[in-house]
Structure 1
């Protein structure tokens, strides 16, 4: 599998995707830097010209612009104040505009990243979801992508503006006094480098903090998902205590991370202030020893030292954002490089949709953990249009067979064939288009009955009602005020377990698959309702290949053939009456479960 890394080069490429917007942002940054660095220069120059009878660096220019009637101190002061305020407002407006542009850019980039992650999510192997909680996965799409977004929207925009401000400030300092300007420009990188050294541990601290947060989110998500069951069984307190422990761990880790990160940030700022003190002392010394530096210019130098403080502090802070973004990208890349599902490739063989489909297991072996087989050299064939039932004790490998047929798991040895063709030669997408599965605990979405049945398919209401009729759920839905638009609640909790199963049956019927798998699909139904559903399904399943997995033997007696599994091997096969007379595992199961 080719590695699909998301790195800062990826972000750079996405930034340059729309160069016109980026050019606008840079123009704003240049203009904002220009308006910012001019502000401290006006008043000090006016002090030199008005109070100290200086060379007139500002005054002479104002005299050219202003009419002779305004050539007086009050006018000069008022005009200078007006220009200073105007420059501040212009700087504010340009900064806001630049922030708006970068926010749009960052959101567009993060949208692209989320789409990239979602496309990857579709192809990730099923074992990733078995090993990783939904909380951790959700955190990737929210927290980590948001961290990258913050880096782009604030950090990169600050980086551009800060560099431009430093360049413009450096130019003005060199214009005021070459010696002082060079001293500040040479010493500044040393100060910044010293602060960067202090921030290197922040990345590890942030990684530990994010790990603790993800663990808390995962436990909380699991708890919320199982809230009803936990509360009924009075185990909510136990699991809540586990979440509280996780929250305490998150608290301790976050405290450790935050105060140390804050200490590093404050230490960096103190180093910068020490540099500022050094700059100020140098300015006083040069003013004392040089006739070229006026009082107003020295005040301007002090002002520019404060102007430099913001961009330098931004550059120092950027490293912390960079460390956080790097840690987020590491987690995103780990997800992007998870093993993907092998969906197979069609080798020019056309799998004809709607044809009668037979299924064959040929010496299939499979294990979740090496050395612990779940299926052991299983071989049998399901003729097209036949209904078979698979029974056996829990852990016998029944549900794993379903996962093999749907391609969620691949055989370690042997092969699964559809109409004589290997499932991977056909391609899983084609195979799954022909399969309908109803699980014991079907996935129900927090939406309407209509949307839960359609699942993105397009169908007339009449077709939906026909499917509901097969599932014996039509009367219940008609009795609801909103009918098909009735909300089922979170995870379908407004429905009973049996109603959720029948909703899933209706969903399957609407698809009209050629292969139907019923995995404990009627286990939550009462005997009377189950009998009605099975009777109506019998007509629907005519000429369709059907596999029923059930513990309740009433659901399997009508099968054309029954396969009995134990410890991953098929040990019996035949009709109900034949198997009863064999006095084997099936007979014992039947006696245990009863008619």
Structure 2
């Protein structure tokens, strides 16, 4: 049913498939492993009744693909329990009952009481949308009512009349296969049509390819970097570095003047006072120049290095702000490893490597220029050799630079898959170990590292190609200088010594300056990559907006949609298609519909996670499109389907910003029915929740989110299938708290259990992004041809 079959591209952590599809892929992976023992941890929780039936009958059950395997099934789908071999009932971490379904039913114990409560109170549209499953549940309910109504002991339960009724029930269950072959409902036909339409549309690539820039680093990158450093301080730094080299060169000439002074060379003048005064004069000037060099080099290096670190910090902060302000579509199409690569390796390049390279480049460049000037001044004839050599080296550098730059870019891009693979491996480490795929993932990691290392090796060792040629031409310069020194009768000893000294120095410095230029250019690729993420498309203004809402906005919580339509990102189809409705003050609205109907999109649109394509949304008469995102999102509260917790204490997760007192937090914990758990922990509010709340059960995580919601209570509350992943008891606690604590709030509930919204003021039925029905539940039930009436009838609520 997927667009490209088994070649369909899955996003990171399956972002482009539903929870039910993830679960089916997981079951398929388990079947494919062909093991002897299967531990199935609630594989039917995220799929609808029809798919759950197919999975059980064709895969898990005694007539499925795993019929000859040992299967340990953890499930909340109690209607399949009559078809398993044995049942283990857990209570308080211990086994309370064990046996076949019929044995447990005749005991009228914990299992029978649980079934009675579950079957009476947990009737859901998803579980009862299929006639076969509905028949099974009705039969189970009839059976458990027989057992529980005739007493709580085994003597009564084993009476002849009860046994006869149980035998009759077992005969009825034999009709299950016959009913299964005839149970093709209208919803199944609609679902099949949907699948066919999905298959006809080829899926576009989800994860975007990482871009590789072409040509030299753009001038904009250099401009932004210089602005981040501070242009004024860059000029001061370069001026002091230039001053250092000028004084350094002049000090060498000063030594020449000192040694070639005719008065000082005459040893007979040693006894005269002018001799000592001249020596002291030369010495003082030389010392002053040394002092000036020291101060200049310190100031130059200090300013340049500190401002480089400052520029790196500015780039990092701007990139961080840009990424955090990007819309959710960015994170759907960009793997987290690619983002980590920019924030780790590329930032590290600017933080650590770039300052050293810059220091070497500026020092060696000025040293080379100074050396060439000294040689030409001492012996102008050397220009005939040095100038052509420099031109040749420039051509070589121009020839080699594009290759080195491209290699560095490939090296940076091929580093991202390593981060992606590492992230996925750590996240799925339990699955990898369970399926004994360690060696395959190790091999994949090695392959990705090898690919990256190939470019890294080429980028770094390519320098040897140009280094050999630089040393060759540098040695030619030294050879020419020495030959001229030997054959020349014009130059004195001091000038010859100075020329030869700088010729040797230029040979070394020229090699270093070219290497530094190459490294600077390749390091600039990191700045280029960071600069690319500094200007990402952003969400709307955070605190700006055309209007500022009143301090106590919203006062009533009136929500109005006017011909509103939206899509998740450009190029995709609309998920909400011109819907219009109004929710009055304090109304409790239930939103129901099948997967893909647009229920979650409705909630996302209120927070402007996805923006309007057409139409408007107003809250208390204020268009939310005119507001900044911060004032909008802080005035609406949501209790999401997946509880989101962070590494840290319980207090931090309930009150992340630290704005509430302990008394207020404890009150919220009490209302969220977590007080007994928290008081039982020695750390209390400082209890460590672990990474992503792993030290808490799923139900406890949802209750922590409920406590957080109670603290940040607003006039509008969104419940996005908040009880989908919790058990029946936790669901009842959450619903009780919501009804009592949010009685005066406007509540918009995206429901997967119809009984949750049956007592709401109105119910909205969505289908394919459009509102099909919107009225009071009793009025909707009167329309026997309506969707809601059909859903309620299938759920056994009428």
TM bin, normalised by shorter chain, reads 0.7 to 0.9
Q: CA deviation at 1:517?
A: 0.8
Q: CA deviation at 1:573?
A: 3.0
1:296-445 matches, cutoff 5 A: 301-343=499-541, 346-348=545-547, 350-351=549-550, 352-368=552-568, 370=571, 372-445=573-646
Pairing partner for 1:475 from 676, 683, 687 = 676
Contact 1:360–1:380, Cα closer than 8 Å, also in 2 = yes
Matched, 1:281 2:479: yes
Distance 1:236 1:110 in 2: 43
Q: CA deviation at 1:235?
A: 6.0
SS class of match (2:561):
strand
SS class of match (1:7):
helix
SS class of match (1:106):
helix
Q: CA deviation at 1:224?
A: 2.8
Distance 1:514 1:227 in 2: 42
Q: CA deviation at 1:236?
A: 8.0
SS class of match (1:412):
strand
Distance 2:555 2:526 in 1: 48
Provide, for residues 117-151 of structure 1, a one-character-per-residue CA deviation record: whole Å limited to 9, x for no partner.
23323432221122112222232233223333456
Contact 1:34–1:165, Cα closer than 8 Å, also in 2 = no
Distance 2:712 2:311 in 1: 37
- Structure 1 match to 2:192: none
Change (3 A) 1:371 1:111: closer
Pairing partner for 1:7 from 215, 221, 238 = 221
Pairing partner for 1:448 from 622, 627, 649 = 649
Distance 1:92 1:245 in 2: 53
Provide, for residues 534-581 of structure 1, a one-character-per-residue CA deviation record: whole Å limited to 9, x for no partner.
212212211111111131334333422222222222223344455556
Matched, 1:205 2:407: yes
Change (3 A) 1:282 1:347: closer
Distance 2:264 2:684 in 1: 80
Change (3 A) 1:98 1:372: same
Contact 2:586–2:744, Cα closer than 8 Å, also in 1 = yes
Matched, 1:272 2:486: no
Distance 2:523 2:512 in 1: 16
Matched, 1:491 2:692: yes
Distance 2:790 2:525 in 1: 57
RMSD: 4.0
Stretch deviating more after TM superposition (211-220 or 360-369): 360-369
Q: CA deviation at 1:355?
A: 0.4
Change (3 A) 1:37 1:247: farther
Q: CA deviation at 1:170?
A: 2.8
1:455-466 matches, cutoff 5 A: 455-466=656-667
Pairing partner for 1:254 from 453, 457, 460 = 453
Contact 2:699–2:725, Cα closer than 8 Å, also in 1 = yes
Pairing partner for 2:727 from 526, 534, 556 = 526
Q: CA deviation at 1:262?
A: 3.5
Change (3 A) 1:263 1:123: closer
Matched, 1:57 2:260: yes
Distance 2:229 2:572 in 1: 50
Contact 1:199–1:264, Cα closer than 8 Å, also in 2 = no
Stretch deviating more after TM superposition (569-578 or 411-420): 569-578
Matched, 1:216 2:418: yes
Contact 1:199–1:319, Cα closer than 8 Å, also in 2 = no
Distance 2:796 2:466 in 1: 76
Q: CA deviation at 1:210?
A: 1.2
- Structure 2 match to 1:573: 774
Contact 1:216–1:250, Cα closer than 8 Å, also in 2 = yes
Distance 1:40 1:493 in 2: 73
Change (3 A) 1:390 1:40: farther
Change (3 A) 1:564 1:158: same
SS class of match (2:612):
coil
Contact 1:216–1:247, Cα closer than 8 Å, also in 2 = no
Distance 2:529 2:518 in 1: 17
Higher relative contact order (CA 8 A, sep 6+): 1
Change (3 A) 1:338 1:14: closer
Distance 1:548 1:487 in 2: 31
SS class of match (1:373):
coil
Pairing partner for 1:115 from 294, 302, 317 = 317
Change (3 A) 1:179 1:370: closer
How many residue pairs are counted as aligned between the two chains? 563
Change (3 A) 1:346 1:183: closer
Distance 1:209 1:37 in 2: 44
Contact 1:470–1:537, Cα closer than 8 Å, also in 2 = no
Contact 1:443–1:491, Cα closer than 8 Å, also in 2 = yes
Change (3 A) 1:380 1:205: same
SS class of match (2:643):
coil
Q: Which has the larger radius of gyration?
A: 2
Q: CA deviation at 1:516?
A: 0.9
SS class of match (2:369):
helix
Change (3 A) 1:533 1:156: same
Provide, for residues 141-176 of structure 1, a one-character-per-residue CA deviation record: whole Å limited to 9, x for no partner.
332233334565123322321232123323432354
Change (3 A) 1:235 1:505: farther
Provide, for residues 58-78 of structure 1, a one-character-per-residue CA deviation record: whole Å limited to 9, x for no partner.
9986999x998xxxxxxxxxx
Distance 1:497 1:490 in 2: 13
Q: TM-score, normalised by structure 2?
A: 0.62
**Gaps in structure 1 of 5+ consecutive residues:** 46-54, 69-79
Change (3 A) 1:184 1:346: closer
- Structure 1 match to 2:199: none
Q: CA deviation at 1:272?
A: 1.1
Distance 1:282 1:417 in 2: 83
- Structure 2 match to 1:178: 380
Change (3 A) 1:260 1:22: same
Distance 2:605 2:340 in 1: 28
Distance 2:266 2:698 in 1: 88
1:92-103 matches, cutoff 5 A: 101-103=303-305
1:87-236 matches, cutoff 5 A: 101-150=303-352, 152-180=354-382, 183-227=385-429, 230=431, 234=434
Pairing partner for 2:717 from 513, 516, 521 = 516
Matched, 1:537 2:751: no
Change (3 A) 1:100 1:283: same
SS class of match (1:415):
strand
Distance 1:370 1:12 in 2: 38
Distance 1:135 1:533 in 2: 37
Distance 1:579 1:309 in 2: 90
